[in-house]
Structure 1
Amino acid sequence: MNDSIALNPNKIVKALGKPAGEFTKQDLIRYIEQNNIRMLNFRYVAGDGRLKKLNFVINSKAHLDRVLSMGERVDGSSLFPFVQAESSDLYVVPRYRTAFMNPFTEVPTIDVICSFFNNQGDPLESAPEYILQKAQRELKARTGLVMEALGELEYYLFSEIDRIYPITEQKGYHESHPFSKWGLVRREAMQVISEMGGTIKYGHAEVGNILHGDLEMVQHEIEFLPTPIEDAADQLVMAKWAIREVAYKHDLEVSFAPKIIVGHAGSGLHVHTRFMKDGVNVMADDRGLTDTARKVIAGYLMSSESLTAFGNTVPTSFLRLVPHQEAPTSICWGDRNRSVLVRVPLGWLGVGDKMLRHANPQEPADTMSAIENNQTVELRSPDGSANIHLLLAGMAVAARYGLEHPEALKVAEQLYVKADASKVASLKQLPASCFESAECLGRERARYEDGGVFPAGLIDSLIKNLQAFNDLNMSEKMFGNADSLKDLVNRHLHCG
C-alpha cells in the first residue's frame, strides 16, 4: 500500500486505496453504495468566514450522480453582504478531494466542501475560497513561489471547578491531566479532524488557566502541518467546527475569542508560512535565513497594519494586542523572540543528527533519516476572529509585496530586534481598534486589489463593517469599567 495511504485516518482514502486528491465522482458513488451511506452534506465558507451546510437525503443513484455533477442553487444574498438580492442565485459545486465521513451523525453521512459559482458558471470573485486561490495564483505567476501555511489554533474550554486538582492560573503550558483539564476533548477533536482530512502536527495544553467564579477556563492548542494555503484555510475552518462539536457533545462551552478576561492569556491564531519552489523550501539554506525569507518578512511588516483587518476583526482583538504581552504590538521581527510581530522559530538548521544520536545511541547511523528544511516564519498578530481564507489571501499579497519591493531587504534589516520589542520606543505600532484597522486597509487597499485578488466591493464591505464597531479609543473609554468590558467580551465570545 502507498505510504500516503497506509496510515491515513480518512476512511474514504483507506477504502478507495488512493489519495484524496485523486477522488473522482465515480469513486464517491461506489463508496456510498458499498457502505450504505444515506445522506450527503455540502459545506462551504460564506462571506462571514463561517462554515455553512446543505443537507441531502440520497434518493437514488441517479439523484446522487446529479447532485455530485451539478451541485445546487443557494441564495447568495443571504451568504454574502455584497451580492444583490435581485441577482442572488449562486451555484455550490462539490470538490471531490475534500470528501470525508461525517464523524458526528448517527445516519452514515458524507460531507464535501464546495466552491461558489455565478450564473455564468464562473467562480464567484468575492468568495473567500476563490480570493485565496487568486492570491496563490498571482503569487506564483509573479514570483515562481508557492505559499504553504500552518495555523496554531488556540481556544478555551469552560467547565465547573475541579475541587480535587484545581488548575494553577497562567501555568497551563504543556500541563497534563489531572493538573490540566479536558485533554480528552482535545484528543477526540484531533482524531476527528484527522479523519476529515486535516493534517495535524500536535496538540497540547496552553498557558491560559483561568479561575472565574464557579468556572475554570482551560486553554488548549492544536497545531497543523504546513500545506498549500488553500488547504490550510479549509483545514482550520473545519477544525473549529469539529472542536465545537466535540465540546458540545461533552456539555462544554468552547471559545476561540481573542480575549476572555482582561489580564489573562488571550487566544491567538499564529500562522507559520514557508515558500516553496519546485517542492523545495526556499526560506533557509546552509547559511541560514535566505534573502527570499527576509523579503517575505518585510512584506508582512510593511502590510501588518492592514492585515489586522483580516486577522483581528472584533473589538476584543485589541484587548489581546497590548504592550508587554506575548501578543505583539510593535512592528518588527526577530529570531526565537516572542515579543516581535514576526518570529523566526527554530528550524533544525545546523544540528544534523547529533540530537537523535545523543538521545538514541543504539540507532545505526545508516538508518538515520535526513533532517529536512523545516524553516518557517510566524505571524503572531491574528486571532480566532479571523476570516481565515481572507487572512491567508492577505498574507500571500503581503508576501508578494515584499518579494517585489526594491527596499524590502533594507526594511528587514532596519526592523530586526533582539530585545523585548515592547521596550523599543522607535518602533511603529499596530492599530489599537477595528476602526483604525479599517483606516489602514483603506490606505493600503491598492496592494490587495492588485492583480484582481480582492474585489473592490469586498474591501468596501470590510471597511464598513469594521468601522461600524465604533471602537476608537475603546480601551481608554472602558478603563476601570468592569461591567462594560464583561459585556463586550460576552458579545464576541463565539466570534469566528
Structure 2
Amino acid sequence: QLEILLSTGERVDGSSLFSNMEAGSSDLYVVPKYRTAFLNPFAEIPTIDILCSYFNKDGEPLVSSPENIMFKAHKTLEEKTGYTLDVMGELEYYVISEKEDLFPAKDQRSYHESMPFAKWEVLRLEAMQAIAMAGGQIKYGHSEVGNFSDDKYNYEQNEIEFLPCPMDEAADQLIIAKWIIFMLGYKYGVNISFAPKITVGKAGSGLHIHMKLKKDGKTASIENGKLSDAAKRVIAGILDISQSLTAFGNTIPTAYLRLVPHQEAPTNICWGDRNRSVLIRVPLGWTGDACKMAHIANPLHNEEDKDFSEKQTFEMRCPDGSANIYLLLGGLAVGARHGLEMENSLKLAEELYVNVNIFDKENKIILDKLKQLPSSCWESAEYLLEQKDVYIKYGIFSEGMINDLAKQLKSYNDENLSERLYGKKEAIKKLVEEFIHC
C-alpha cells in the first residue's frame, strides 16, 4: 500500500485548497516529492512527513498551483536567458513569552545577543537542528534587533539564515522551517509570530531573499571582482516590477506598517552596495583582498588565498513572513528574466543606484526622485493589475489568477490604513492580533 501511495499519490478536494476552483470539478491529485521527506521530530509514533505537488484530472501539473508557477518561472528564465537563480531566505520571527525580569535585554538592541539576555536561544538552536535534520541547508542563526517587553510579555526577535540553493529547494526548506518553529513554540508553551509587524515603533520581521545569479552552474553575479552587468540587469528587472511583487511578498495589511522609514525596512525603489535603506542591497561578498582576512586574524594560518567571490548575493529586502513563498520566488524569477530581456535595464540600474542613506534629511532630494513601494494591500493589487503583462508573458501566471489575487488583496479594504490608524493604539492592537500568525 505504501509503494502504491508513493507512486500514485492521493485525491483531494481542490475547492478547499484553492479559492478559484469550483466545487463541481475540484478533484485533484497530490503526489509526494520524495526529496522533501523527513522524519517528523514531534510525532510520538515514528512518522515520515513529505511535501506534495498538485496535478489535475489529466495528470498535468495544476496551472494555478503556486509551486508550479514558481517552477515555470524559473524554467523559463533559464530557457530564455541561459541564467538561473539560487536563492536563500532570512527567516525572522518573534518568540512571545511570559515576562521575565532576570537579565533583561536592551530595548531594540539585541542584534547577535547571547544568553542569558537572549532568552530563547535554546528554541532557536533546537529549531536549527530539526530544520537541518529535515534537509534544510542552514548558514547560521542569531538573535535580532527586536527585543522589548510590556506588562505581561517579553517579545524576542530571532533569525535563521539559510544557504543559497536551487529555487525549488529553497522554497520547500522555508515552508518546512516555519512549521518546525511553530511546533517548537507549541512545545515550549510560547507564541511564535512571523508577522511583519507586532507593534508600532519596534522592529518588524522580514523575510529577506538573497539571490545568486548563475550560468552553466557557476556564479554570474561577479565579473572581474565586481558586480556583473548581468546581475545589474536582473536587479533592474526586479526593481521595475517591485511594486507588484509586493502582492506575493507582503500579503496582509500589517505588512505595510513595517515598510516605513528608519525601521531597517525599504520604502522606495532603489538599490545599492551595503546599504540597508534600499530595496535591493548588494551585501559584502568576500571580493578583493577579503580572502586574506583569515590569515590576518590567524597568523599561523598558512592556507593559500582562495577566491570566495562565488558567495556574492543580492538581497530583496521588502518581503516578510506573510509571503506566499512559491509565488514570491516565482515573481523574482519573472523579474530577473524581465531585466535580462529589457533593452534599457543597465541604464535603469544606473539611475536607481544610491550610495547614501536615503532617509537622512540631507538626502531628501534623492529620496523625492525615487518611486515608492505600495502603502497597502489595495495599492499592491492595483500595481499587480497594472503590471500583469510581465507575469502572464510565456504563460507563467494566468490572467485569472492575477485577477483573483488582486481581488483578494483588495478585500482587506486597507487603502490609507496607516492614516486611518494613526494614534489609535487599540485599533492597531486589534489588527496586529488578527494577523499575528501568517
- Aligned: 1:405 with 2:342: yes
Any idea what the Cα deviations from partners look like across 1:209-266, whole Å, max 9, x if unmatched?
A: 1112211100000000001111111111110000000111000100000001100000
- Aligned: 1:68 with 2:6: yes
2 CA distance for matches of 1:146 and 1:433? Answer: 31
2 CA distance for matches of 1:318 and 1:142? Answer: 34
Equivalent position amino acid for 1:459 in 2: I
Q: Alignment partner for residue 198 of structure 1, among 115, 131, 136?
A: 136
- Aligned: 1:478 with 2:421: yes
Q: Equivalent residue for 1:176?
A: 114
Question: How far did residue 411 of structure 1 move?
Answer: 0.5
2 CA distance for matches of 1:261 and 1:430? Answer: 21
The 1:280/1:430 distance shift into structure 2, 3 A limit, reads same
Matches within 5 A, 1:303-382: 303-366=241-304, 370-382=307-319
Question: How far did residue 372 of structure 1 move?
Answer: 4.5
Structure 1 vs Structure 2 CA RMSD = 1.1
Q: Alignment partner for residue 431 of structure 1, among 370, 374, 382?
A: 374
Q: Extract unaligned runs of 5+ from structure 2.
A: none
Contact 1:148 1:276 in 2 (8 A): yes
Question: How far did residue 455 of structure 1 move?
Answer: 1.7
2 CA distance for matches of 1:372 and 1:288? Answer: 9
Q: Equivalent residue for 2:236?
A: 298
Question: How far did residue 65 of structure 1 move?
Answer: 1.2
2 CA distance for matches of 1:469 and 1:113? Answer: 30
Question: How far did residue 98 of structure 1 move?
Answer: 1.6
Question: How far did residue 323 of structure 1 move?
Answer: 2.1
Matches within 5 A, 1:79-98: 79-98=17-36
Which shows bigger deviation, 193-202 or 280-289?
280-289
Q: How many residues align?
A: 432
- Aligned: 1:487 with 2:430: yes
Equivalent position amino acid for 1:144 in 2: G
Question: How far did residue 286 of structure 1 move?
Answer: 2.1
- TM-score normalised by the chain length of structure 2: 0.97
Q: Extract unaligned runs of 5+ from structure 1.
A: 1-62
Q: Equivalent residue for 1:56?
A: none
2 CA distance for matches of 1:77 and 1:296? Answer: 36
Question: How far did residue 352 of structure 1 move?
Answer: 5.0
Q: Alignment partner for residue 416 of structure 1, among 338, 350, 353?
A: 353
2 CA distance for matches of 1:263 and 1:371? Answer: 38
Contact 1:330 1:430 in 2 (8 A): yes
Question: How far did residue 181 of structure 1 move?
Answer: 1.3
Any idea what the Cα deviations from partners look like across 1:123-161, whole Å, max 9, x if unmatched?
A: 101111111100011000000011110000000001122
2 CA distance for matches of 1:285 and 1:413? Answer: 17
- TM-score normalised by the chain length of structure 1: 0.86
Q: Equivalent residue for 1:226?
A: 164
Contact 1:286 1:349 in 2 (8 A): no
- Aligned: 1:148 with 2:148: no
Contact 2:36 2:172 in 1 (8 A): no
Question: How far did residue 369 of structure 1 move?
Answer: 5.1
Matches within 5 A, 1:118-267: 118-267=56-205
Q: Alignment partner for residue 282 of structure 1, among 220, 225, 228?
A: 220
Equivalent position amino acid for 2:313 in 1: T
Matches within 5 A, 1:438-477: 438-477=381-420
Q: Equivalent residue for 1:393?
A: 330
Secondary structure of the residue aligned to 1:493 is coil
2 CA distance for matches of 1:356 and 1:164? Answer: 38
- Aligned: 1:107 with 2:50: no
Question: How far did residue 324 of structure 1 move?
Answer: 2.9
2 CA distance for matches of 1:295 and 1:384? Answer: 27
Contact 1:299 1:408 in 2 (8 A): yes
1 CA distance for matches of 2:124 and 2:343? Answer: 45
Question: How far did residue 100 of structure 1 move?
Answer: 1.2
Contact 2:225 2:287 in 1 (8 A): no
Contact 2:374 2:380 in 1 (8 A): yes
1 CA distance for matches of 2:19 and 2:192? Answer: 27
2 CA distance for matches of 1:141 and 1:471? Answer: 39
Equivalent position amino acid for 2:232 in 1: R
2 CA distance for matches of 1:265 and 1:371? Answer: 32
| Identity fraction in percent | 55
- Which segments of structure 1 move beyond 4 Å, counting only runs of 4 or more? none
Equivalent position amino acid for 2:388 in 1: R
Equivalent position amino acid for 1:403 in 2: L
Question: How far did residue 373 of structure 1 move?
Answer: 1.6
Any idea what the Cα deviations from partners look like across 1:62-98, whole Å, max 9, x if unmatched?
A: x111111111000000000011111100001111122
Secondary structure of the residue aligned to 1:421 is coil
Any idea what the Cα deviations from partners look like across 1:180-221, whole Å, max 9, x if unmatched?
A: 110000000000000001100100000001112211100000
Contact 1:286 1:350 in 2 (8 A): no
Secondary structure of the residue aligned to 1:185 is helix
Equivalent position amino acid for 1:387 in 2: N
Question: How far did residue 364 of structure 1 move?
Answer: 2.5
Contact 1:135 1:397 in 2 (8 A): yes
Question: How far did residue 387 of structure 1 move?
Answer: 0.4
